[in-house]
Chains A and B, each alone.
Chain A
Amino acid sequence: MSDLVIQIRDMTRTYVMGAEEVHALRGVSLEIRRNEYVAIMGPSGSGKSTLMNMIGCLDTPSSGEYWLNGQEVSRMGDDALARVRNKEIGFVFQTFNLLPRASALQNVELPLVYGGVGAKDRRERSKAALTRVGLGDRMEHRPNELSGGQRQRVAIARALVNEPAILLADEPTGNLDSTTSEEIMRVFESLHAQGQTIIMVTHEPDIAAHAERTVVLKDGKVSSDTTNRRGAAA
């Protein structure tokens, strides 16, 4: 049981827009183990991003349960959610979402700032994280002085710097060309090899093929859940 990082039971999320109700998630159940590498696929509007936001504690479900690392997140308040995001979650976004006026190093330091880590420790850990993604020589560069692939690697370093339980990536290669996408996938693979749990949303089958398990959503429900290669035992 302790091997389960994520346990989701009958999760729904309904958006109320005036008189209309949008059912983004209609009862999703999902379990993810430590060190799994999961790709989430599905047509546009099927609820992938909504699910990622739930897993990432940016949003809370309308009904159902969500346990992260043995804590029931679905019942948490604002500040507690912020702490979970800070400690347990590392986000990688399609649009990188780096602070434009801050250097690569300052961007990576940000989660540690909110985690209350001291300045010296912060600096060292951020440098190590940047070195880990191959950007040891670009620390003082600002996002607009970096290529798309480099920006995404800064974002990955930022996601990893707090040693989160899970790395969440919503279409991490959506804004990158195929060569750069492959680079990012190699980074993910090496992180996975080092024990990192990764959940990634993608539209592209060849990107999803890097994962060891593929969950397909359709109309806010899990329509298939398959193991890709010999790797993971479900």
Chain B
Amino acid sequence: MLIRDAVGMALNTIRVQKLKSFFSLLGVLIGVTFLIAVVSIVQGMNVYMEDQFANKLIGLNTFQLRRMSNFNSGNVTEDMWREWQRRPRINYQEAAYLEDNVQTPVLYSRYCSENLDMLWDGKTAKQIDIQTADAPYFQIKNYEIASGRTFTPQEAKVGAAVIVVGWEITDKLFKGADPIGKSVMIAGIPYRVVGQIAKQGTLFGISLDKFAVVPFDAPIHRAVCRLGFMDELHVRADNPAAMKLAVNEVEGLMRIQRRLKPAQENNFALQTAEGALEGWNKISAILMTALPALVAISLVVGGIVIMNIMLMAVAERTREIGIRKALGAKRADILAQFVVESATLSTVGALIGIGAGIGLAFLVRGVTPLPAAVAPWSVGLGVFLGVAVGMTAGIYPASRASRLDPIEALRQE
């Protein structure tokens, strides 16, 4: 009952002096806002990076053998870049050797890509990502076929002029009409559309549907790939453990083929989802390390401000304390009253901070392609920190209040 009175009194103080209270709670408010917003964005990014980025861009249990990595974290020096440029491309013999010698059961697909214009019925879809790949590619990428079919091993083998299109082609070029059976022109050669891949959505606001796949040896090959070479060899295993094995095997076999001495570094790259996430993991690790320090600083400042507010409250309400003591309040009663009042103040700051943090996270989600997901534990932690900071900050002023001499206190104007 006393607690309720103290809470009520704190809320009343805030209500009466809105602006002053707002500024005095700013420290706690900012600290908790940071906490909620940063954790929300980092958590949202984590989920997004794993679900969307890594799996859509690289593929589940999948890795790619390349001349050099697409995803680089940290500094790439000019020397490194030059070394990468000098590396040999992956060639057919190397790919065939891997297919023959890797023991782990995996799927393979050679892969090249180039941005080219696509024509149909006098209309042009510009800069479409034309990918040339082998038949298992669709399975490796986990592409769902919305209508029609993928190309057959037979079509792949002879390099037939067939094409499987992404959603955006259907949408933009065919205006949503059924694309199957239509004939599109790429680099002057007609391709018959045999399949339509289900919509992939966006990644950081960039469409993942602006592409089409043709057999690796289709006529367009010359415009996309250097003969005898590929941009990437895609490899998919059944599960993460098998994938790790396959990565090791491929690495070993490639080093043998390229006659690399033990001291020499790989002159090829094995690109995994994990590797692609490395950059993000570094950023999120920095954020999550800096966060506690930032939050702690705000909360310490906030706590000191609240302590001063409470010292002022004790000074202003000395007479009230005298009255309460005259009516039978014990030291512990006065102590509890001011600690609860301080905790209430601080918790109100924390609650506003939680609201602001969630708002900020959703604002970021709304205006940028960055995702945000509010972590319930961060909200719980925010409330806890609010109460804890308030109680800690309130102890000293409250103990001063509780030790006041009732007669002296009553004499105060």
Q: Which residues on the B side are within 8 Å of A85 (C-beta)?
A: 325-328
Per-residue CB contact flags for chain A residues 59-84 toward chain B (1 = under 8 Å, else 0) read: 10000000000000000001100110
Q: Which residues on the A side are within 8 Å of B242 (C-beta)?
A: none
Contact, CB under 8 Å: A111 / B328: yes
- Beyond A58-B406, A59-B407, A99-B320, whether A114 also contacts B326 by CB under 8 A is no
Contact, CB under 8 Å: B325 / A82: yes
B 292-344 contacts with A by CB, 8 A: 319-320, 322-333
Q: Which residues on the A side are within 8 Å of B410 (C-beta)?
A: 58, 93, 97
Beta-carbon nearest neighbor of B329 in chain A: A114
Q: Is A115 part of the contact surface with B, judged by Cβ < 8 Å?
A: yes
Per-residue CB contact flags for chain A residues 162-198 toward chain B (1 = under 8 Å, else 0) read: 1000000000000000000000000000000000000
Contact, CB under 8 Å: A83 / B327: no
Q: Is B2 part of the contact surface with A, judged by Cβ < 8 Å?
A: yes
In the bound assembly, the distance between CA atoms of A12 and B67 in angstroms comes to 100
A156 to chain B, nearest CB (A): 13
Main secondary structure of the interface of A (DSSP, over half): helix
Contact, CB under 8 Å: B328 / A86: yes
In the bound assembly, the distance between CA atoms of A56 and B1 in angstroms comes to 26
Which size bracket describes the interface of A in this complex? 20 to 34
Beta-carbon nearest neighbor of B413 in chain A: A95
A51 to chain B, nearest CB (A): 12
Contact, CB under 8 Å: A110 / B324: yes
Q: Count residues on chain B whose CB falls below 8 Å from chain A CBs.
A: 22
Beta-carbon nearest neighbor of B330 in chain A: A82
Q: Which residues on the B side are within 8 Å of A79 (C-beta)?
A: 330-332
Q: Which residues on the B side are within 8 Å of A59 (C-beta)?
A: 407
Contact, CB under 8 Å: A78 / B324: no
Per-residue CB contact flags for chain B residues 379-413 toward chain A (1 = under 8 Å, else 0) read: 00000000000000000000000000011001000
Q: Is A7 part of the contact surface with B, judged by Cβ < 8 Å?
A: no
Q: Is B85 part of the contact surface with A, judged by Cβ < 8 Å?
A: no
In the bound assembly, the distance between CA atoms of A56 and B327 in angstroms comes to 10
Contact, CB under 8 Å: A91 / B331: no
- Beyond A97-B319, A99-B320, A113-B5, whether A78 also contacts B330 by CB under 8 A is yes
Q: Is B248 part of the contact surface with A, judged by Cβ < 8 Å?
A: no
Contact partner of B330 (CB less than 8 A), chosen from A58, A87, A114, A119, is A114
Considering residues B1, B323, B326, B329, which has the most beta carbons from chain A within 10 angstroms of its beta carbon? B326
In the bound assembly, the distance between CA atoms of A158 and B323 in angstroms comes to 11
Q: Which residues on the B side are within 8 Å of A119 (C-beta)?
A: 1
Q: Is A230 part of the contact surface with B, judged by Cβ < 8 Å?
A: no
Q: Is A53 part of the contact surface with B, judged by Cβ < 8 Å?
A: yes
B57 to chain A, nearest CB (A): 62
- Beyond A97-B319, A99-B320, A99-B323, whether A83 also contacts B328 by CB under 8 A is yes
A94 to chain B, nearest CB (A): 11
Q: Is B12 part of the contact surface with A, judged by Cβ < 8 Å?
A: yes
In the bound assembly, the distance between CA atoms of A164 and B9 in angstroms comes to 28
A70 to chain B, nearest CB (A): 19
Contact partner of A101 (CB less than 8 A), chosen from B12, B328, B333, is B12
A157 to chain B, nearest CB (A): 12
Per-residue CB contact flags for chain B residues 225-240 toward chain A (1 = under 8 Å, else 0) read: 0000000000000000
Contact, CB under 8 Å: B333 / A58: no
Contact, CB under 8 Å: A114 / B323: no
Q: Which residues on the A side are within 8 Å of B9 (C-beta)?
A: 101
Beta-carbon nearest neighbor of A159 in chain B: B327
A83 to chain B, nearest CB (A): 7
B 5-55 contacts with A by CB, 8 A: 5, 9, 12
Contact, CB under 8 Å: B326 / A58: yes
Q: Which residues on the A side are within 8 Å of B320 (C-beta)?
A: 99
Query: A residues engaging B (CB < 8 A)?
Result: 53, 56, 58-59, 78-79, 82-83, 85-87, 91, 93, 97-99, 101, 110-111, 113-115, 119, 158, 162
Q: A91-B327, A119-B1 are in contact. List 12 more A-B contacts (CB 8 A).
A: A82-B328, A82-B330, A83-B328, A85-B326, A99-B320, A99-B323, A101-B12, A110-B324, A110-B327, A111-B327, A114-B324, A162-B328
A-B contact pairs, 16 of them (CB 8 A): A56-B326, A58-B326, A79-B331, A85-B325, A85-B326, A91-B326, A93-B410, A101-B9, A101-B12, A113-B2, A114-B327, A114-B328, A114-B330, A119-B1, A158-B327, A162-B328
Q: Which 4 pairs, one residue from A and one from B, show the smallest C-beta to C-beta distance?
A: A86-B328, A114-B328, A82-B330, A111-B327
